[in-house]
Chains A and B, each alone.
Chain A
Amino acid sequence: MDVLRNKARDLLAQGQVQVVIGYEAGTGGARRPSFVRSEADVARLVWDADCVGNLAGYLTRAEIKKMGKIAVVANAATLRALLQLTAEHQLAEGAVSALVVTEEGAVLELSNAQAVTEHVATLPASLSAADREKLDQLMALSREERRAFWEQELQRCIKCYACRSSCPMCYCGSCTMDCNRPQWVPVASHEMGNLEYHTVRAMHLAGRCVECGECGRACPVGIPIHLLTCYAEESVRRQFGQPAGTSATLNYALGTFRPDDQETFIR
């Protein structure tokens, strides 16, 4: 942890970055994001197994971008988000340095896309084992059971859009949900509208989701909403082999095609 703090101190002292985004202790042992802008504050930074949140969501915020050059404490999903955001022209190449704490406790500074790409290639999938298990369990159910499951879950949605706000890839200034000419999806929280909203979000994240699970953690009513986007991402990976967040150059599965894409359902 000291290595991380020292690294942050060095970066700030030498003026290489103006803000270090990391984790600090929150209430009840939870971790919350920390924006460290002076050497004096580096002591707030912590790093442990509880630092699971994806801090990449802050990188595209105008108020954060204004602070100057950024270093972000990154886990696997953060790194993938960093690449995907760069590929989608939301982050300038080299605008953000990633600080990665290795298993041995060392701190790597990945200051360009190539370094991040190479590091990501060495990491296992970012989907957690628990989520993997949940996905498999759902897949093992019958269609009817799956429908019932999601109907149960989604009817609790209050359409607070916390999932959208927490998602590093939901950076769009004007979301389809807010479009009113035409009004694609009803504004009010309503079973049909909820279903439509979450379908749209999953479709829009297929081939873009970095599987951080942030949306699921953000949901105030505890819907495992990240399973939808994670499944969509997995569907893309399985069918087209073009996973999100593995390269800083655009390789969007739904923006490309192969003439021999194989499906079984088109008549």
Chain B
Amino acid sequence: MADEAFEPKITAFVCNWCTYAGADLTGTSRLKYQSNIRIIRLPCTGRVDFMLIQKAFARGSDGVIVSGCHPNDCHYTSGNYHARRRWMVFNDLMEFMGLDMRRVTFSWVSAAEGAKWATLVNEVTDHLRELGPYTEYQRLLNAGVA
């Protein structure tokens, strides 16, 4: 059961040209969403090293969003395609290692999808609030040296 006072900490890695701009549009459209999220701006989803996701969790994030341009719309023509392949392997490997991939959300949000961004952030926030703190990971941080 999630703690009532629990507010999830969410880190988002987004590309500059689609999702960052899409999130800007959410703002200019004055659509509201919950304020748990912190956006880190990158040029492209191709720049998203899987280690960034790891480090975000290691730093205590309860959830991570990675979002960029839809396939075929990448500002750099194919950075998102490369990213997608890496996510496909990463996602699969994490499942194999038993990590909770419900806490990582990959998505395509274009510069025109301000509303989608708001919905996405709200859904992810609500979902993470339901899942509660990511104790099974954060516990590792506090575990002793072997």
Chain A 73-85, CB within 8 Å of chain B: the 1/0 string? Answer: 0000000000000
- Chain A residues with CB under 8 A of B93: 199, 202-203, 206, 228, 231-232, 235
- Chain A residues with CB under 8 A of B84: 257, 261, 263, 266
**Chain A CB within 10 Å, residue with most, of B55, B72, B108, B145:** B145
Judged by a CB distance under 8 angstroms, whether B105 is at the interface is yes
Chain A 231-267, CB within 8 Å of chain B: the 1/0 string? Answer: 1100110011000000000000111111101010111
Judged by a CB distance under 8 angstroms, whether A106 is at the interface is no
The number of residues on chain B lying at the interface, defined by a beta carbon within 8 Å of a beta carbon of chain A, is 41
Judged by a CB distance under 8 angstroms, whether B5 is at the interface is no
The number of residues on chain A lying at the interface, defined by a beta carbon within 8 Å of a beta carbon of chain B, is 50
Chain B 70-111, CB within 8 Å of chain A: the 1/0 string? Answer: 011000001001101111111111111111110001111000
User: Taking A147-B97, A190-B146, A192-B140 as contacts, is the C-beta distance between A236 and B81 under 8 angstroms?
Assistant: no
User: Taking A191-B146, A253-B85, A257-B85 as contacts, is the C-beta distance between A203 and B98 under 8 angstroms?
Assistant: no
User: Taking A196-B54, A199-B93, A266-B107 as contacts, is the C-beta distance between A257 and B140 under 8 angstroms?
Assistant: no
- Chain B residues with CB under 8 A of A155: 143, 146
Judged by a CB distance under 8 angstroms, whether B1 is at the interface is no
Measured CB to CB, the nearest residue on chain B to A198 is B97
A251–B84 alpha-carbon span in the complex (Å): 17
Cβ contact within 8 Å between A192 and B58:
yes
**Per a CB cutoff under 8 Å, which of B86, B99, B145 touches A254?**
B86
Nearest-Cβ distance from residue A153 to partner chain B, whole angstroms: 10
Chain A 183-211, CB within 8 Å of chain B: the 1/0 string? Answer: 01000111110111001101100110000
Given contacts A156-B146, A257-B82, 19 further A-B contacts (CB under 8 A): A138-B96, A143-B100, A146-B96, A149-B98, A184-B51, A189-B145, A190-B143, A191-B141, A192-B140, A195-B140, A228-B96, A228-B97, A239-B88, A254-B89, A257-B81, A263-B87, A263-B88, A265-B87, A265-B101
Which positions in B face A, CB cutoff 8 Å? 50-51, 54-55, 58, 71-72, 78, 81-82, 84-101, 105-108, 120, 136-137, 140-141, 143-146
